[in-house]
Amino acid sequence: MNREEALAIVKPHLKQERYDHTVRVMETAIQLAQTYGVDEEKAEIAAIFHDYAKYRPITEMKRWIESTYLPKDLLHYHHELWHGPVGALLVEREIGLHDKEVLEAIHYHTTGRAHMTPLDKVIFLADYIEPGRKFPGLEEVRKSSWEDLDYGCWMASKNTVSFLMSKSQPIYPETFHAYNALTNKIK
Ligand code: DGI
Ligand code: FE
Ligand code: FE
Ligand code: FE
């Protein structure tokens, strides 16, 4: 599957603004992959499909979580966290994409996880820094992202945790696991 084929497959599943975000994540992910010696084709395909399940009805995502191997604890957290894991499942089932590394990068793109792979980090960070994003503190993260992949991910993860805490939101364990593992990794 080449880039054009993959984009054509994902397009009908997304709104225009989300499709435009996807293209920017793809471009950013390829640049990060080139910078850090990560497989560019895997970064491209994972980026294209990372938000594949973003617009599935909440009830459908809930059913996929209940009826498959997906972690049941997701059901106790915000449904915004479901589209990554459900997306990985559906990209495998509906698109027939079986690359485990790509599927895991899609699965964990929102929360991160402990001991993220380089491909996980590229997708997690590209989703955070793509040029259409506007978060407080983003310019600093953008700058670090091209100097040190772990440091960039750590800053993105730290910002997300701080933001959620400032809003008194529950934080999913994997989000903390990502933050803790990255904190131990940077010096
Ligand atoms: O799908 P996107 O909008 O491109 O981005 P995303 O998949 O990274 O989702 C980002 C949202 O997920 C953002 O609003 C922060 C939220 N989020 C990330 N980790 C957690 C979380 N929300 C809660 N409640 N708990 C988390 O641990
Ligand atoms: Fe997402
Ligand atoms: Fe993200
Ligand atoms: Fe995204």
Instruction: Tell me, in angstroms, the distance from the centre of ligand 1 to residue 163's CA.
Output: 10
Do residues 56 and 83 lie in contact, with contact meaning Cβ atoms separated by under 8 Å? yes
Q: Which residues line ligand 1 at a C-beta cut-off of 6 Å? A: 51, 54, 77-78, 80-81, 84, 109-111, 127, 160, 164, 169-172, 175
Question: Ligand 4 centre from 157 Cα, in Å?
Answer: 15
CA 126 to ligand 3 center in whole angstroms = 8
Q: Is the pLDDT reported for residue 187 higher than 80? A: no
pLDDT confidence of residue 135: 86
Is pTM beyond 0.90 here? Answer: yes
Percent of residues, the chain, with pLDDT higher than 70: 100
Average model confidence (pLDDT) for the chain? 97
pLDDT at residue 39 is higher than 80: yes
pLDDT exceeds cutoff 80 at 70: yes
Average pLDDT over residues 16-44: 98
- CA torsion angle 36 151 45 69 (round to 10): 130
Residues with CB under 5 A from ligand 2 (ion): 51
Point out the ligand 1 atom lying closest to the alpha carbon of residue 84: 7
Q: pLDDT digits over 128-168, tens only? A: 999 999 988 999 999 999 999 999 999 999 999 999 999 99
Q: What is the CATH number of domain 3-185?
A: 1.10.3210.10
Amino acid occupying residue 24 = R
Question: How many whole angstroms separate alpha carbon 14 and alpha carbon 53?
Answer: 9
The predicted-structure confidence for 80-104, as pLDDT tens digits, reads as follows 999 999 999 999 999 999 999 999 9
Residue 185 CA to ligand 2 centre (angstroms): 25
> What are 171-180's pLDDT values in tens digits?
999 999 999 9
